[in-house]
Amino acid sequence: MNSQDNSKKTGVASRRSFLKTSAMVGAAATVPSFAMRAVANNNSKLRIMHIGVGGVGGMQRGNLKRHPKVEFAFLCDVDSKNLDRVSRELPKATKIKDYREAFDKHLDKFDAVVVDTPDLH
């Protein structure tokens, strides 16, 4: 007798069936949440914090700012020159040098984070 037959007779779920059922229940629980958010946010914009606005960050920002449902809420860069230059392009965005401050004090004011920093490690 194999283990699959044994699990059916004893009422014990196999690991595979448990994981499958758990995944389906988890997915079913999150769908209403996403659907409600989509309805509630139908007219709102995705508020982005952009970390690392110079260099490569300009390409990402250029693509995103053309989207009608995107707005830049925060601009973050350690280089004041980059930050000042880009803030003239996006004057409604709040300038900030340390991203940790935005996470600590303004977490409710942005929905997504774009990180365009060099890998210096």
Whole-prediction pTM value? 0.63
DSSP state of 67: S
pLDDT of residue 9: 55
Phi and psi of 64, rounded to 5°? -70, -40
The CA distance from 47 to 78, in Å, is 21
| pLDDT tens-digit series, residues 54-106 | 877 777 788 888 888 999 999 999 999 999 999 999 999 999 999 999 999 99
Mean pLDDT for the stretch of residues 101-119: 89
The CA distance from 61 to 33, in Å, is 29
3-state secondary structure of 60: helix
pLDDT of residue 92: 95
Domains and CATH numbers, the chain: 3-40 (no CATH), 46-115 (3.40.50.720)
| pLDDT tens-digit series, residues 11-56 | 566 777 766 666 665 555 555 555 555 555 566 889 999 998 987 7
Identify the CA nearest to 72 among candidates 56, 60, 55. Answer: 60
How many CB atoms are located within 10 Å of the residue 102 CB? 21
